[in-house]
Structure 1
């Protein structure tokens, strides 16, 4: 894929959910590049994190979900290209920002001493509270009781108030007891903190030494930050001032002022700490605290021109999603009936999306909608335009959902198991339609499925997800003919097409691990019949098989014993040819 452009670059993505007082980590450190015009399949059991993964870069996480860490860089030239007018307000704002940045830049000279002062303050704060070990122990005890209390409360909610009064009473009493224990532990923790604080305040020798050292640092810091900045730094700050204005150019005046102030504070803090602002990644990180960074390219007397670094993991403004979701990243869902509004005509549902994103008249939108309906295979489109969803079959409804998704010519089409609710003959038609339209519309397909038969038909590359992690990714041929992870072996062994007469169909024993808890070692270890001792102790790294094939299993370590893949998937090519009578 070296000759293809990276359209979406996901780095160390972690997605969490707040569920009944607990935190569930659904996606755990996923890194993946998705290329322009490719078809990539995301495969795994139910609950592996497939839908959550794609919802993270479509901005469709549930309200209790959030991206805890990581980046999702969307490389779309049209959306990234940014122009803002260089009017009198812009010139005045840029000049003011440049002046402030030049003043803040003096702080860079004293960054090393500043960090020493912060470290000294931190040391004193730690002395006045619990040690890290004591705090972790206290928090773990409280957390354990809170989890027990939450589970009991949830259990109580399931009890029948008319028939299980005794159980309800018993559960309520246990909840009250746990509340008392939690309160006692919290009080004990507070008392320990008070004792540490009092002891630190009474330590005269330490406090005198602290005051003397801090005074020495402050004197040194004042001297260093009094120096004048260089011409090179001034030039850098001029570009930074223009980038700050470019980055807030899309906002209305009130928000623009608020965002500029926020970016001033972010850059002051970065300069205080000596962040290398000539490093592109670090500069992006400072902007991400407030908004996207727009990298300065050039200017004319009338306008500034730049390119936006679109990090979908850092979007804070809902209006920004309006420029991406539907227009650049579209989704085809599993059930076409729930994807369409039953009381609005088919035509209206297509034209409303076209009018919203393309800002065209209703007449133009209708013409485009009819053309799309014909492309997705709706017969007599003109006559069927004003029909309601219930007048369409399941396959036709899914074709309309695809038409709506493609109405704005998105760069990425997420297909979230779009054929599961359809019968087998219609499934094949929908898959062929999605692939055929890709050639015309040049979109990237991200196909979510647990059906490896579908993968073989539609994908160029495959990423296998397990317990919120990518455990293997490869070209589709490599994954089918040379799989390396035991979980991939198990998925392939479960293919009904490989089952022979009078033999039992293979199934994976056990269940995936709870994502509420921290997972030690390989998450697949408890279900893995090829499990090594190290699988239960340490998480495996991602081993390279070829330039396009990687797998996260200790079996690929040179020190691991040689392990053959299961007999069921040996010579899989011949077996599939035989199964399909090819």
Structure 2
């Protein structure tokens, strides 16, 4: 895939949900690159994290869900290229920002001393109570005890009061014991705090030394921050000031003010802590706490910027085209998007989704044409008449007969297959870069499924978008995908080209999925099914998540999580069976020569 451009790069992604006071980790450290114009299939059992994973691309997580860590870098030149007007008002703002940053820069001279003062304060807290590490350990253990109580309580609720009275009684007794253990552990923490505090009061020498050291450090700090700021630092601050304006320029006035205030405070704290703001990575992190950073490139005229975007057009020379702009470029990390304004530029316009049930995707009280044209008007800022013409055109492209006549029909007047075509038309109406298809053929009969899959393939060739297919149906995968990523318990456990994953799979879970294909079953033979259930994602998983269900499980699978092993340049699998010291295990007989078996099944 070296010659393909990466359009979406996911690195070490963790997605969690708050559920009834507990944390569920739905996505666990996924790293995956998705390429321009390819079709990648995301497969796995229900609950493996397929839909949650793709919802993070478009900011569609439920309100109790959040990205805990990781990055989702979206490579879109149009959105990344950023300009703001650089008129007299903007220049005054930049000068004011630079002046404030020059004031804050004095703090950089005392950063090491400031850290010493913080360490001294931490020692005082530990002497008077608990250290930060001890407090964190107590909180962690108390949370684990609380989670265990909730698990047992939920289990108790599943017991039959008539037939499982003994289990209910046993669980009730254990819950009381756990409640007592929890309170005892809390008391242990509180007693330790009191003991430390009393000991500190009996040790006036420590407090005397603390105040002496603090006073000496404070005097040293006050002297250090009096140093003059260099011209080089002032130049850096001027660039930072321009980046503040570029990074906040897309917001409304009220949000812009809030963003500017947040960025100035974040930069002040960074200077106070001695963060190297000349380092691109560290500067990005400082900005990301408030909003994504737009890197300053240059000052440019409107005409010059237009020429950059459209090299074939002649350079304009009118007065309006000579107005100055601040020109910047941003790295779009979708994991850091926290504003609806930012998502409006991506969702629908750049990343669109086709859901599995077209009837619930469409508004039953709005006409089909209204639903398509409203999306076009919102994202492409065109007139209602132009939107109507474009909507009719896209309806024709997705195979709706007589689109001019069917434009004003309601969803109930369309068949299931036609409704799904309209959902695809809505998704493609703004020509997105990525189309996410979440089980798009599940609610349709077999003949219509084939038509919809062929339609998506044809439209992909015409519009050159990337398709991300979420599916349980491995037959669909073989028919449409270039690459396959297999998910289990919130992790990618195998990824490769469709030929590699189908004909040379390496992970036992992939073996099990392929063995479950009905097409491989022989007459009078029982269909293969994977025993057991996926692990609970409320709890930390030790070792390989698939180990309890894996008939080829090694001892190491229960002890350590396997890394991603490289099979080829395009094929990777997360299983200890690929370790050089692992015993040789052949894939199940049912999926050996799978290619020939499928050809024979379909008489090809």
Q: Same fold (TM over 0.5)?
A: yes
CA distance in 2, matches of 1:310, 1:95: 27
One of 505, 517, 534 as aligned partner of 1:483: 505
Q: Map Cα deviations across residues 468-490 of structure 1 (whole Å, 9 max, x no partner).
A: 11111111111112211111111
CA distance in 2, matches of 1:87, 1:134: 54
SS of equivalent to 1:477: helix
Counterpart in 2 of 1:428? 450
Aligned residues of 1:266 and 1:289 also touching (Cα < 8 A) = yes
Structure 1, unaligned runs of 5 or more: none
> CA 1:340–1:172 in structure 2 vs 1: closer, same or farther (change >3 Å)?
farther
One of 523, 527, 531 as aligned partner of 2:549: 527
Aligned residues of 2:101 and 2:237 also touching (Cα < 8 A) = yes
Aligned length, in residue pairs: 580
> Is residue 2:549 matched to residue 1:549?
no
CA distance in 2, matches of 1:116, 1:308: 35
Counterpart in 1 of 2:103? 103
The alpha-carbon deviation at position 109 of structure 1 amounts to: 3.1
Taking the TM superposition and a 5 Å limit, the aligned residue runs for 1:268-347 are 268-300=268-300, 302-347=324-369
Taking the TM superposition and a 5 Å limit, the aligned residue runs for 1:372-521 are 372-521=394-543
> CA 1:576–1:259 in structure 2 vs 1: closer, same or farther (change >3 Å)?
same
The alpha-carbon deviation at position 453 of structure 1 amounts to: 1.3
Counterpart in 1 of 2:391? 369
SS of equivalent to 1:546: coil
Q: Map Cα deviations across residues 467-512 of structure 1 (whole Å, 9 max, x no partner).
A: 0111111111111122111111111111112222233222111111
> CA 1:514–1:212 in structure 2 vs 1: closer, same or farther (change >3 Å)?
same
The alpha-carbon deviation at position 412 of structure 1 amounts to: 0.8
> Is residue 2:130 matched to residue 1:130?
yes
Counterpart in 2 of 1:217? 217
> Is residue 2:604 matched to residue 1:570?
no
Aligned residues of 2:43 and 2:486 also touching (Cα < 8 A) = yes
Range moving further from structure 2, 204-213 or 408-417: 204-213
CA distance in 1, matches of 2:340, 2:62: 14
SS of equivalent to 1:82: strand
Range moving further from structure 2, 545-554 or 252-261: 252-261
The alpha-carbon deviation at position 19 of structure 1 amounts to: 0.9
SS of equivalent to 2:296: strand
> CA 1:157–1:63 in structure 2 vs 1: closer, same or farther (change >3 Å)?
farther
TM-score by length of 1: 0.93
The alpha-carbon deviation at position 172 of structure 1 amounts to: 9.7
Range moving further from structure 2, 461-470 or 247-256: 247-256
Q: Map Cα deviations across residues 18-65 of structure 1 (whole Å, 9 max, x no partner).
A: 111211000111111111111111111100000001111211111111
The alpha-carbon deviation at position 557 of structure 1 amounts to: 1.4
Counterpart in 1 of 2:238? 238
Range moving further from structure 2, 239-248 or 491-500: 491-500
Aligned residues of 1:413 and 1:443 also touching (Cα < 8 A) = yes
Range moving further from structure 2, 145-154 or 192-201: 145-154
> CA 1:136–1:229 in structure 2 vs 1: closer, same or farther (change >3 Å)?
closer
Aligned residues of 1:20 and 1:150 also touching (Cα < 8 A) = no
CA distance in 2, matches of 1:425, 1:543: 39
CA distance in 2, matches of 1:101, 1:141: 43
SS of equivalent to 2:412: helix
CA distance in 2, matches of 1:519, 1:527: 14
Counterpart in 1 of 2:560? 538
CA distance in 2, matches of 1:127, 1:429: 72
> CA 1:168–1:351 in structure 2 vs 1: closer, same or farther (change >3 Å)?
farther
Taking the TM superposition and a 5 Å limit, the aligned residue runs for 1:8-407 are 8-130=8-130, 135=135, 138-139=138-139, 142-147=142-147, 149-151=149-151, 182=182, 185-300=185-300, 302-407=324-429
Taking the TM superposition and a 5 Å limit, the aligned residue runs for 1:2-13 are 2-13=2-13
The alpha-carbon deviation at position 198 of structure 1 amounts to: 2.8
CA distance in 2, matches of 1:201, 1:4: 67
SS of equivalent to 1:422: coil
Q: Map Cα deviations across residues 392-421 of structure 1 (whole Å, 9 max, x no partner).
A: 111111000000000111111110011111
Range moving further from structure 2, 134-143 or 442-451: 134-143
The alpha-carbon deviation at position 448 of structure 1 amounts to: 0.7
> CA 1:209–1:539 in structure 2 vs 1: closer, same or farther (change >3 Å)?
farther
CA distance in 1, matches of 2:133, 2:115: 24
Structure 2, unaligned runs of 5 or more: 301-322
The alpha-carbon deviation at position 197 of structure 1 amounts to: 2.6
CA distance in 2, matches of 1:347, 1:358: 16
Q: Map Cα deviations across residues 308-332 of structure 1 (whole Å, 9 max, x no partner).
A: 2222111121122112111111100
> CA 1:63–1:509 in structure 2 vs 1: closer, same or farther (change >3 Å)?
same
Aligned residues of 1:41 and 1:455 also touching (Cα < 8 A) = yes
Aligned residues of 1:21 and 1:150 also touching (Cα < 8 A) = no
Q: Map Cα deviations across residues 49-104 of structure 1 (whole Å, 9 max, x no partner).
A: 00001111211111111111111121111112211111222111111111222232
Range moving further from structure 2, 140-149 or 151-160: 151-160
> CA 1:380–1:12 in structure 2 vs 1: closer, same or farther (change >3 Å)?
same
One of 574, 577, 581 as aligned partner of 1:559: 581
CA distance in 2, matches of 1:172, 1:350: 57
CA distance in 1, matches of 2:144, 2:252: 48
SS of equivalent to 1:415: strand
